[in-house]
Structure 1
């Protein structure tokens, strides 16, 4: 029972940690919006979380099976700009601000879910 409990809370901890890392990455992109040659970086949160927690992609047990994730699954990559700039900077400020706001909202949501889970467990332990 405690292993399942620990695994369940570790998923929330991993998600919060990855959201924090992604927020720092997006903040760096915004801060370097005017830096010539700067390449915007981002990560696919779901892919990275699945790679970190061991979920998501199916395992291949035979050489003829197709791999469902690439060799770089779980790593940050460079963002491909819609409108590239002449100085080589790939930061699109509107995109970065939108991604940062969404990531912040999802961080808060994950934190709220974790707090509710712990509160529910406290209520169950107290017998209320």
Structure 2
């Protein structure tokens, strides 16, 4: 029972971290909507989550000494930053589509809140179980 709860909380905490990282990228896209030649970025959430859970097929870079630098797209969750392909290119080279960014931002926020509620619920269940004994 405890192992299952631990696995679910571990999964949700990794999902929360990825959602937070994605939210920063999406907020950056929205903030740079009027910046010439800015390229909208995002992450492949499902692949990054699989990698974070240890079931991904992506090969990461190893740091063999503490002084080594991480690769530019490297992060602890395996979320590679990808450029979003525009449906209609703009004259100034900016690839931000505000409709897409707003939709993705809200969708990601809702998914973040869901994961947060699940983790909170698991802790409440454990607290209730411990207090009733």
> Structure 1 length as normaliser, TM-score?
0.80
Residue 2 (structure 1) shift: 5.4
2:81 corresponds in structure 1 to 76
Between the aligned partners of 2:46 and 2:81, the Cα distance in structure 1 is 12
1:61 corresponds in structure 2 to none
Residue 46 (structure 1) shift: 1.1
2:24 corresponds in structure 1 to 24
Is 2:39–2:95's contact at 8 Å kept on the other side of the alignment? yes
Q: Following superposition, which runs of at least 4 residues in structure 1 exceed 3 angstroms of deviation?
A: 1-7
Between the aligned partners of 1:83 and 1:106, the Cα distance in structure 2 is 28
After superposition, where does 1:1-128 map in structure 2 within 5 Å?
4-55=4-55, 74-127=79-132
Greater displacement, 1-10 / 95-104: 1-10
Structure 2: give runs of 5+ residues left out of the alignment. Answer: 58-77
Task: Spell out, residue by residue over 1:76-116, the C-alpha distance to the aligned partner (whole angstroms, 9 max, x if none).
Answer: 20000101111111000110001001101111111111111
Structure 1: give runs of 5+ residues left out of the alignment. Answer: 58-72
Say how many residue pairs are matched.
114
Task: Spell out, residue by residue over 1:27-80, the C-alpha distance to the aligned partner (whole angstroms, 9 max, x if none).
Answer: 0000000000000000111110111111355xxxxxxxxxxxxxxx74120000
